[in-house]
């Protein structure tokens, strides 16, 4: 399938398809049109006498420093170079691909004020199976995934290193040239919009949710097999016993265990024979433990789903033409969800 960016949300399945299975990505005509309209508003703001953060000013402590229109593109490239300062071994390929897809998705919403060309080069690079080398350490989260996204952006402008479709690490300029992808020349606000997001965290969380789903299913299967191996009973998994403590995950896990053990010849063979008063704690409490993990996964997925439909940037360019500063780049919602899921998975 081709995952088309329409300026709306993506789902977990689409992220996994692109990140892990190399599915193609496309940018819709409607998304391009919205981006062009948004870009026109940024162009006007860049010429305005009223300062607009990241458009006609510096960043952070230099927000009060006015940047002349002719030097604004230079500032954007300097921002990318200065923030591409991660260290350590490279991030996994699938995480980088998820990050690239999710940054393109936010840009396609038309609330960032960048040209369609910025989203298009992310799409082209993904489709060419070119993966920027992103060091594992350096993101701060509270200001978005600045360093990881800067390393991705650095590759898009033809600097830094990438891994090509053959798995060979090489200079970005060389890989882009071989794939016939023209390096991006940044214009006003575009460097900022490429790095001001939570896409690295969100990519990791989305992939982790997919993995946790499989892990928690296996937990039920393992528990059912353990019940058989220990000559246990399926009675603790009866629905009415869980309706009196109806945590959704617990109810679902108990129902799954009952289904897995239904028709088991092993369980049936000793159902009416002399037996322990009750099964061991580890078997009997399986739905309560695995169920709590399922509920944690549901929370993490709800958080990821909201983020997968959100505009993560600062400032944002609204449909009425206003350019407003926000704090939507902050990663706290994702950090809490990811840490909670890590506890459950452990």
Concerning whether 53 is annotated as a catalytic residue, the answer is: yes
d(CA 34, CA 58): 26
Closest CA to 156 of 112, 188, 123: 123
Q: What is the pLDDT of residue 45?
A: 87
Query: Which has the minimum average pLDDT: 12-16, 143-147, 247-251, 291-295?
Result: 143-147
Reported as a pLDDT band with limits 50, 70 and 90, residue 60 is confident
Residue 3 phi/psi, 5-degree rounding, is: -90, 115
Q: Which two tokens stand for residue 321?
A: 């033409």
Residues in the chain: 346
Residue 317 phi/psi, 5-degree rounding, is: -110, 110
DSSP assignments along 205-225, one per residue? HHHHHHHHHHHHHHHHHHHHH
Domains of the chain: 3-200 (1.10.275.10)
Half-sphere exposure of 198 (CA within 13 A, CB side): 25
Residue 210 has pLDDT above 90, yes or no: yes
Other Cβ atoms within 10 Å of 250 Cβ, number: 21
d(CA 224, CA 227): 5
Token pair 């449909």 is at which residue?
Answer: 319
Between the CA of residue 58 and those of 100, 184, 239, what are the distances in Å? 25, 21, 61
Residue 30 vs residue 320, higher pLDDT: 30
Reported as a pLDDT band with limits 50, 70 and 90, residue 288 is very high
Q: What is the pLDDT of residue 260?
A: 96
Q: Which two tokens stand for residue 279?
A: 């099964």
Query: What are 138-190's pLDDT values in tens digits?
Result: 877 777 899 999 999 999 999 999 999 999 999 999 999 999 999 999 999 99
Q: Which residues contact 114 (CB under 8 A, 6 or more apart)?
A: 35, 38, 39, 42, 107, 189, 190, 193, 194
Q: What is the pLDDT of residue 114?
A: 97
Residue 276 has pLDDT above 80, yes or no: no
Mean pLDDT along residues 75-94: 96
Point out the catalytic residue in the list 18, 41, 46, 53: 53
Reported as a pLDDT band with limits 50, 70 and 90, residue 35 is very high
% of the chain surpassing 70 pLDDT? 99
Closest CA to 19 of 211, 212, 301: 211
Residue 273 has pLDDT above 90, yes or no: no
In 253-343, DSSP assigns E strands to 316-317, 323-324
Residue 112 vs residue 270, higher pLDDT: 112
Query: What are 321-343's pLDDT values in tens digits?
Result: 889 999 999 999 999 999 999 99
Average pLDDT across the chain, whole number: 94
Residue 275 has pLDDT above 70, yes or no: no
Mean pLDDT along residues 105-119: 97
Query: What are 211-226's pLDDT values in tens digits?
Result: 999 999 999 999 999 9
Q: What is the pLDDT of residue 144?
A: 83
């Amino acid at each position: 399938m081709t995952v088309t960016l329409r300026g709306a949300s993506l789902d977990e399945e689409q992220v996994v398809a692109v990140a892990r299975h190399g599915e193609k990505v496309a940018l819709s005509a409607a998304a391009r049109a919205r981006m062009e309209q948004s870009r026109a508003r940024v162009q006007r703001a860049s010429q305005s006498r009223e300062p607009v953060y990241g458009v006609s000013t510096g960043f952070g402590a230099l927000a009060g420093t006015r940047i002349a229109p002719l030097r604004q593109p230079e500032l954007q490239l300097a921002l990318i170079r200065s923030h591409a300062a991660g260290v350590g071994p490279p991030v996994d390929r699938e995480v980088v691909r998820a990050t690239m897809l999710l940054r393109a998705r936010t840009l396609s919403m038309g609330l960032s004020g960048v040209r369609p060309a910025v989203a298009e080069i992310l799409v082209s690079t993904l489709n060419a199976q070119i993966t920027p080398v992103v060091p594992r350490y350096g993101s701060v989260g509270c200001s978005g995934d600045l360093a990881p996204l800067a390393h991705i952006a650095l590759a898009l402008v033809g600097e830094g290193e990438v891994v090509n479709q053959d798995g060979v690490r090489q200079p970005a300029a060389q890989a882009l040239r071989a794939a016939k992808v023209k390096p991006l020349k940044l214009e006003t606000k575009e460097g900022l919009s490429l790095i001001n997001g939570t896409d690295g965290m969100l990519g990791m969380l989305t992939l982790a949710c997919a993995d946790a789903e499989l892990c928690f299913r296996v937990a039920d299967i393992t528990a059912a097999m353990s019940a058989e191996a220990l000559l246990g009973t399926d009675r603790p998994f009866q629905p009415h016993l869980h309706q009196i403590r109806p945590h959704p995950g617990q109810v679902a896990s108990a129902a799954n265990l009952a289904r897995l053990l239904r028709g088991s010849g092993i369980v049936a063979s000793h159902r009416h024979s002399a037996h322990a008063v009750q099964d061991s704690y580890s078997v009997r409490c399986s739905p309560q433990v695995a169920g709590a993990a399922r509920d944690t996964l549901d929370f993490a997925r709800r958080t990821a789903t909201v983020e997968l439909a959100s505009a993560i940037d600062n400032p944002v360019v609204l449909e009425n033409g206003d350019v407003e500063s926000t704090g939507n780049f902050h990663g706290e919602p994702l950090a809490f969800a990811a840490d909670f899921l890590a506890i459950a998975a452990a």
